[in-house]
Structure 1
């Protein structure tokens, strides 16, 4: 509703050229919105987001966070309703509805949200025939901290937005 309000009420927002970007939980949100955006967005960028919550549960170095955020393991048949809803709404379960170009960015030293989450989303998009790019930083964690990597991140990020949102 926030994007609809901005698109309909702010004169400088072009509702025909909206992009959706997010990092960490925002990256998860991007992956989820990619299948639930009703064609609002023309491009997506996800940085270090969780894509498959089932694999995320066991792939993280911080199992405490998975238990706290998801409430239970995905294999427990008697899991709580909250946990069941969490896993039922994992972005990877809605890839069949993806239809918009997506850029996935990830650091391979991010052990909380492993790079396999970015690889999974990228491959899912490509296997569906959706334009996608993957930017992996082998020497970065959840944040891009090295100056040269930051330059590449900025160029790739804004280049992707220009490619899909800028008027010709």
Structure 2
């Protein structure tokens, strides 16, 4: 059982991710194909059994959700949806947003904030 999660540019909804990522190749490869291919058993299994949005009712672990504003691989909506789901369930959660970062936090001043918030979160939740 985990006491805390730190989610950095995580995927929340595989279906909406499929339509908004700039790199559909990875999503096709990881999921087995598009979600609308009803005869594609591997894809249907992925979207029904492994889509994080289908597990929200089982969430109870505190989570820090980190998101870059110019991440085209995992667009901001994924982090916003996860944060909203946690908040609406009363789960301790925080949304750390870097509007000028992409999939990675590369700017030195932002990296310092990321490190500080990362360890602060662990100290609060472990």
TM-score (norm: length of structure 1): 0.72
User: Unmatched 5+ residue regions in structure 2?
Assistant: none
Shift of residue 73, structure 1, vs aligned partner: 1.2
Residues 1:93 and 2:24 aligned together? no
| Match in the other structure for 1:160 | 121
Consecutive unaligned residues in structure 1, runs of 5 or more = 1-39
For 1:40-119, what aligned pairs fall within 5 Å after superposition? Answer: 40-79=1-40, 81-88=41-48, 89-119=50-80
Shift of 1:76: 2.1
Residue 123 of structure 1 corresponds to 84
Give the 3-state SS of the residue equivalent to 2:54 in structure 1.
helix
Partner of 1:24: none
User: Does the 8 Å CA contact 2:37/2:43 hold for their aligned counterparts?
Assistant: no
Give the stretch that moved more between structures: 67-76 or 87-96: 67-76
Q: Distance in 2 between matches of 1:85 and 1:159?
A: 37
Q: CA deviation at 1:66?
A: 1.8
1:54 is paired with a residue of what secondary structure? helix
Q: SS of 1:135's equivalent?
A: strand
Determine the C-alpha separation between the residues in 2 that align with 1:48 and 1:156: 15
Structure 1 runs of 4+ with >6 Å offset: none
Q: Which has the higher contact order (CA 8 A, sep 6+)?
A: 2
Match of 2:107 among 146, 150, 155: 146
DSSP 3-state at the match of 2:4: strand
| C-alpha deviation, 1:48, in angstroms | 1.1
Count of matched residue positions in the alignment of Structure 1 and Structure 2:
125
Partners of 1:76 and 1:86 in 2: CA distance? 12
| 2: CA distance, partners of 1:103 / 1:142 | 16
